[in-house]
Structure 1
């Protein structure tokens, strides 16, 4: 007996979890968390929802897998053999910053579940480098806490700003408007804001982010006995 021909548009090869996660990330990047459903995923993968449920139980699990995949990729990108501890911390911070910039939705996912594997990898990597850097044991928790909160907080804020810019206004427009508003403030009451207003429109977010990392590390190392 001859086999029935496969229905047009249907996948003929076996579906893998990696393919599901990659397709989910594509939807999340282009349309956001609300758009990710098993129906839209089935359409994109040209398969039935049952094939997806075989690998992924629900949307929460799918979001977790997608988030961990991106963070793991960022950590892999930051790995360079024999890199000095300070350089390694900067590389990890930059990788997280860039991951948030490319995938703005992961900030919300990590804040909802700070115990995810990807998050724990970043936590451990930062903490281990502080030991190697020579930060005193009595200060490590405070320095680590300041660093990870700064890294994830600033990365998430930058991603949110980028998302707002996509809604109709460019980053340069928004910063230009803010700089103009600060420039019109009473200079006697807001001298500092007057001073930095001219730096707002042209500053590089990534460079400013890394400057903050250096300030935290410099302060930590000054406390060594």
Structure 2
């Protein structure tokens, strides 16, 4: 029977001098994904990159799906876990920023996060989840409330970050900067919203803004709204 996840399958026994390790495979896959995107990843291409045969590859990873589970957990391993303390909002804010930064460093990740099994049982994800639950509990949430708060924050962060990642990936393919894209698109956008006064007012106010700063500000303001809501429920 096929395993549900790479984390439910026993890890193969190490040989005395293995030709290739799981860690090497994951590192090479992450490098390939960052350089060329999700469509470029295949077991054959990865094997060529590592100068390894199929046998040594499949000893550690049974499929591309399993490989993605490992790589996604590796990305989460880059995030600093939050530390429980007096100010749960400050700790969660730092954590949310760290998750967003990690997802934007690896923009391909948004296309696989929704797949069943990906990363949910990975050691790095479990470590981060445990730490974040502890932060909420220290802030006064029940364990069940902490779980709901964690899910809410992560839904916001992943939703925002994956949308940003898709946008940045498209920009990279076009060869333009955010500012160049905005300046070219803005006249047409203003004409399109001309019959909608609220949208027209928003577009007029936003024209000429630094796009990177605007994205950062919108993320921070949205996160504050989420945390305000959680704090209201806590009270």
CA deviation after TM superposition for structure 1 residue 18, in Å: 0.6
Structure 2 unmatched ranges of 5 or more: 1-16
Q: Give the alignment partner of residue 134 of structure 1, picking from 137, 140, 158.
A: 140
* 1:78–1:91 Cα contact (<8 Å) kept: no
Q: Give the alignment partner of residue 97 of structure 1, picking from 92, 95, 100.
A: 100
Q: Does 1:206 align with 2:213?
A: no
CA RMSD of aligned residues (A): 3.0
Q: Deviations over 1:174-200 (max 9, x none)?
A: 33345434544337x323542354336
- Specify the alignment match of 1:26 in structure 2: 31
- Specify the alignment match of 1:7 in structure 2: none
* 2:84–2:91 Cα contact (<8 Å) kept: no
CA deviation after TM superposition for structure 1 residue 220, in Å: 2.5
* 1:136–1:224 Cα contact (<8 Å) kept: no
Within 1, Cα distance between the matches of 2:219 and 2:48?
39
Structure 1 unmatched ranges of 5 or more: 1-11
- Specify the alignment match of 1:16 in structure 2: 21
Q: TM-score, normalised by structure 1?
A: 0.78
Within 1, Cα distance between the matches of 2:187 and 2:136?
41
SS at match of 1:15: coil
- Specify the alignment match of 2:71 in structure 1: 66
- Specify the alignment match of 1:175 in structure 2: 182
* 2:22–2:60 Cα contact (<8 Å) kept: yes
**Aligned CA distance change for structure 1 residues 216 and 196 (closer, same or farther; 3 Å):** farther
Q: Give the alignment partner of residue 39 of structure 1, picking from 35, 40, 44.
A: 44
* 2:81–2:132 Cα contact (<8 Å) kept: no
Q: TM-score, normalised by structure 2?
A: 0.75
* Structure 1 range deviating more: 113-122 or 146-155: 113-122
**Aligned CA distance change for structure 1 residues 222 and 195 (closer, same or farther; 3 Å):** same
* 1:28–1:35 Cα contact (<8 Å) kept: yes
* Structure 1 range deviating more: 137-146 or 203-212: 137-146
